[in-house]
């Protein structure tokens, strides 16, 4: 019988764009849900995905600020509150 492959847990990771790459430092975030063996591997994976989206920014320059267990849906981010909502 085949051994059953265990699914990797999923994590939602929030990384911050580096200050040199944004006009609104602290507000520009990259959020992604990924499968990974642990929260540290998930953060590294999302740094790589952010780098692929913005090739001019090295992966290590995206700073992980939050790792959550599971798939989380982003309802609003820092830019959502600009304009007096």
| pLDDT confidence bin for 68, thresholds 50/70/90 | very high
> Bridge partners of 32?
13
Cα dihedral 72→75→80→85 (10° resolution):
-150
Predicted TM-score (pTM) of the model is: 0.83
**Residue among 61, 67, 54, 78 nearest 19 (CA):** 61
| pLDDT confidence bin for 58, thresholds 50/70/90 | very high
Q: Which residue has the higher pLDDT, 78 or 60?
A: 60
């Amino acid at each position: 019988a085949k051994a059953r492959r265990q699914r990797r847990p999923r994590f939602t990771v929030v990384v911050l764009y580096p200050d040199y790459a944004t006009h609104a430092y602290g507000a520009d975030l990259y959020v992604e849900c990924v499968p990974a063996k642990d929260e540290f591997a998930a953060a590294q994976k999302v740094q790589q995905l952010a780098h692929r989206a913005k090739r001019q920014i090295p992966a290590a320059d995206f700073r992980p600020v939050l790792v959550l267990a599971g798939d989380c849906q982003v309802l609003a981010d820092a830019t959502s509150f600009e304009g007096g909502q």
